[in-house]
Amino acid sequence: MTTQGEFDQRISRRTVTAGVAGGVMFSGLVARLAQLQLLEGQRYREIADENGVKLELAPPLRGSIYDRFGVPLASHRQAGRISIIREQTPDMEASLREVARQIDLTSDQQARVIQQARQQASFQSTIVKSELTYEEFARMSLLAADIPGVQVDMAATRSYPRGRDFAHMLGYVAKASADDLARLTEGATQEETELLRRLFRHPDMRTGRSGVERHAEEWLRGEPGFRRLETNAAGRVIKELDSADVAPTPGKDIGLTVDAELQRAAIERFGDESGAAVVLDIETGAILAFVSTPAFDPNDFVNGISQADYDALRENDRSPLYHKAYDGTYPPGSTFKMVVATAALEAGINPEMRVHCPGHYRFGNRTWHCWKRGGHGSVNMHWAIKGSCDVYFYEIARRTGVEKIAEVSRKFGFGQRWELGMTGGRRGTVPDDAWKRAALGEPWYEGETLNYGIGQGYLSTTPLQLALYSARIAANGRLIEPYIIGEGPRPDERIPDAEPLNEEIMKRMQAGMYGVTSEAGGTAWRSGDLGLGGPRLAGKTGTAQVRRITKEERATGVLKGDQIARKLRDHALFVCYAPADDPKYAAAVVVEHGEGGSSTAAPVARDIMATAIRRDSRRAARWQTASVAPSIITTKGAP
């Protein structure tokens, strides 16, 4: 039993208790306020100050790329474009229809613009059409003021004035995809990553997708400028903050060692043929021409290529997307014979030793054939090179052995990727016993050494390696290294040099190559005359077998030309240097499915070399390559 007084007291007490409980809760809230505002206030204030400030990035102008004489290969041009801001027009569709009345703009394109604009905030601008023609730009500049929401301005667009000529070398730029961003921000701090992501979201920003454009991305890109703007949570600009604008720093230029006119002439000389050509400066290793034809037009990629066009490029059987001079690997065929000869001489074989060629060679229970059905008769090394006698090389290859041939191949620069500062580049294959065991799980058979002797079998080489090989012969065995970036971000990866090649042996090889083009019995004796009066060409022909010739076919006569499908025809190769008596340039030419080295590749090479000499591509370049070169040919520690 509770009394009246106790009852009264209890209610009063509980009223007070409830009040105290409420008071405790209020105190808890005040404590939390103190925690947020007093203890952590500084941190939150910093975040808040950042919150309202937006850095508006101004894209930097990408650096240009020039050839050795300062001819622009990649630069930029101003192009007009139309954009629309959603919130500035009451009816976006009507505005776009109005634009379509003035310029060519399909209803599909209009729909895409509307869709894109709806995904953005209403105050952001959407590009309706870029790359306006001069006439479109002039007309729209006059009329834009009358169409609500529509603006016309100029923007710098990457352009490649030489179009296809330098497609593979330069690569191209495109809008950064998610993959690009992942690659570009690899290893960056979180802050840098955020900055890059925002920069590449800018509609004018592009990134290098391949070639030098991709490899030298950071060098070419430059530093973005910025303005500090106060924006609300949706990103609308409230006001521009007082702090100074920082103008963008343009990207740095790059000077390549190539000669645009030589490149042009070489491509023209190929005509409709597909193939590759590399011209090197023997003194420095500078690449003067780096041809892969046919090619794509990098200008098509800058604003995004259509799927149909891209598919057409990809399905073209002459592989225009492929950098044949750097990524293409071909059996060198008979152009490889100076490697085998060098290896034989290093192994102590007498160059005057004679081998009888009856047109075939028996080893074990198999017969190997010489390209000349009747045979060369009795030949020494000089005659074997200039007549390209297969039987001679079967014999000395067998005597020299696979390991020695592989060793000398590497001395010439085969079997390794040469870093030039662009994407791509293949190593090719220099087979030996260890390689075959690793790759195929089988030991080397001696019969395969015979194939090695005539540059067939597992051996594969790139045109760049072939040109380098020719240059090293012409330079009396000096270990020249190729490079293409004359001024700019030189790749610092240098390959440790092997033992230099023997000068006496190289002189002998030169004599053989001179014989090929300039002596009776030479396989390319018609190509020796450059048509310049004095200077002559020295070289070596090669034919790379694409298919195997069967016994039956050999009996009835090897099929030629039109009798077989193009893709099964042999590749024609030619390695050379000129002038023969005072070498300045070395080159390699591959005409894909060109059938014969002497009939197809050698004339192309001769004309390219004649142009190189006539143009005197070594005359004082904008980049003083000759004086720079020796310093970059250095030896870096053992592998």
Partner 1 sequence: MARAARASSMRFEDRTLASTLGQLPWGLILMLVSVACIGTAALYSSTYTNPAESALPLRHAIRFAVALVLMFLIALVPIKVWLQAAWPAYLVTLAMLVGVELFGVTGGGATRWLPLGPINVQPSEFMKLALTLALARYYHNNLTHQSGRFFIHLPPLLLILVPAALIFKQPDFGTTLALFASGGVLIYLGGLYYRIIFGVVAAGLASAWPIYAFVLEEYQRKRVDTFLAQLTGQAVNTLDDGYQIEQAKIAIGSGGWQGRGFMEGIQAQLDYIPEQHTDFILTVIAEEFGFLGATGLLLLWAIILIWGLVIARSSASLFGRFAAVGCVATVAFFILFNVAMVLGLVPVVGVPLPLVSYGGTVMFTTMACFGIILSVHLGRDERLSSQGVI
Angstrom distance (rounded) from CA 344 to CA 394? 11
Q: At its nearest, how many Å lie between partner 1 and the CB of residue 46?
A: 8
119 binds partner 1 (CB under 8 A): no
Q: Strand ranges (DSSP E) for 297-451?
A: 355-357, 360-363, 366-369, 377-379
Task: Kindly state the smallest distance separating residue 98's Cβ from partner 1, in Å.
Answer: 29
* Angle made by CA atoms 397, 400, 403, in degrees to the nearest 5: 100
37 touches partner 1 (CB under 8 A): yes
- Shortest approach of partner 1 to residue 2 CB, angstroms? 5
- Between residues 29 and 244, which has the closer beta carbon with respect to partner 1? 29
Residue 111 lies near partner 1 (rule: CB under 8 A): no
Question: Looking at beta carbons only, is 178 or 233 nearer to partner 1?
Answer: 233
Cβ atoms 593, 570 nearer than 8 A: yes
Site string for partner 1, 233-252 (x = CB under 8 A): xx---x--------------
Amino acid of residue 423 = T
Residue 509 parent element (H or E): helix 503-518
Alpha carbon distances (Å) from 186 to 66, 175, 190, 211, 322 = 29, 18, 10, 19, 27
Q: How far is the CB of 236 from partner 1 (least distance, A)?
A: 9
**Nearest-approach distance from CB 239 to partner 1, in angstroms:** 11
User: Which has the closest alpha carbon to 325: 542, 588, 578?
Assistant: 588
Cα–Cα distance list, 341 to 345, 384, 454 (Å)? 6, 10, 11
Closest CB 181 distance from partner 1, rounded Å: 18
Interaction pattern, residues 348-377, with partner 1; x per rule: CB under 8 A: ------------------------------
Q: Is 41 in the site for partner 1 (CB under 8 A)?
A: yes
Q: Does 34 bind partner 1 (CB under 8 A)?
A: yes
Give 466's contacts (C-beta < 8 A, 6+ positions apart).
278, 332, 335, 573, 575, 588, 590
Q: How far is the CB of 48 from partner 1 (least distance, A)?
A: 4
- Helix (H) or strand (E) holding 379, with range, is strand 377-379
Instruction: State which residue, 39 or 565, has the beta carbon closest to partner 1.
Output: 39
When the beta carbons of 227 and 318 are compared against partner 1, the nearer one is 227
Site string for partner 1, 309-348 (x = CB under 8 A): ----------------------------------------
Kindly state the smallest distance separating residue 289's Cβ from partner 1, in Å. 53
CA 384 to chain centre: 38
Q: Which of 60, 185, 197, 230 binds partner 1 (CB under 8 A)?
A: 230
**Taking CB under 8 A as the criterion, which residues in 253-292 touch partner 1?**
none
- Euclidean distance between CA atoms 427 and 418, whole angstroms: 8
Interactions with partner 1, residue window 51-70 (CB under 8 A) = 51-52
Structure token pair of residue 590: 């591959």
Least CB distance to partner 1 at residue 274 (A): 52
Alpha carbons 94 and 243: distance in angstroms, whole number: 40
Tell me whether residue 204 or residue 230 sits nearer to partner 1 (CB atom).
Answer: 230
* Rounded distance between C-alpha atoms, residue 543 and residue 140, angstroms: 58
Contact status: 123 vs partner 1 (CB under 8 A) = no
Stretch that binds partner 1, among 9-17, 518-526, 539-547, 585-593 (CB under 8 A): 9-17
Binding residue count for partner 1, defined by CB under 8 A: 44
Does position 194 bind partner 1 by CB under 8 A? no
CA distance 498 to 579: 27
Min CB(225)–partner 1 separation in Å: 24
Query: Taking CB under 8 A as the rule, does residue 627 contact partner 1?
Result: no
Q: Which long-range contacts (CB under 8 A, 24 or more apart) does 198-202 make?
A: 198/55, 198/57, 199/57, 199/59, 199/224, 200/175, 200/176, 202/57, 202/59
User: What is the 8-class DSSP label of residue 71?
Assistant: -
Q: Which two tokens stand for residue 64?
A: 């240009």
Q: 559: helix, coil or strand?
A: coil
Binds partner 1 by CB under 8 A, chosen from 18, 94, 247, 312: 18
CA 509/CA 39 separation, integer angstroms: 83
What would the two tokens of residue 417 be?
Answer: 């990727």
Contact between 14 and partner 1 per CB under 8 A: yes
Q: Does 25 bind partner 1 (CB under 8 A)?
A: yes
**Mask: binding to partner 1, 135-164, rule CB under 8 A, as x and -?**
------------------------------
Cβ closest to partner 1, residue 233 vs residue 555: 233
CB of 13 to partner 1, least distance (A): 10
Q: Which of 44, 145, 317, 567 binds partner 1 (CB under 8 A)?
A: 44
Contact 270, 297 (CB under 8 A): no
Distances (CA, A) of 70 to 75, 127, 241, 279: 12, 34, 42, 19
Q: Which is nearer to partner 1, 243 or 367 (CB)?
A: 243
Dist. CA 5–CA 176, nearest whole Å: 83
Stretch that binds partner 1, among 43-51, 136-144, 357-365, 372-380 (CB under 8 A): 43-51
Sign of the alpha-carbon torsion through 139, 143, 145, 150: negative
* Residue 42 touching partner 1 (CB under 8 A): yes
Picking from 610, 577, 601, 459, the residue whose alpha carbon sits closest to that of residue 507 is: 577
Q: Is 635 near partner 1 (CB under 8 A)?
A: no
Helix (H, G, I), strand (E, B) or coil at 349: coil
Where does this chain bind partner 1 (CB under 8 A)?
1-4, 7-8, 10-12, 14-16, 18-19, 22-23, 25-26, 28-30, 32-34, 36-38, 40-45, 47-49, 51-52, 230-234, 238
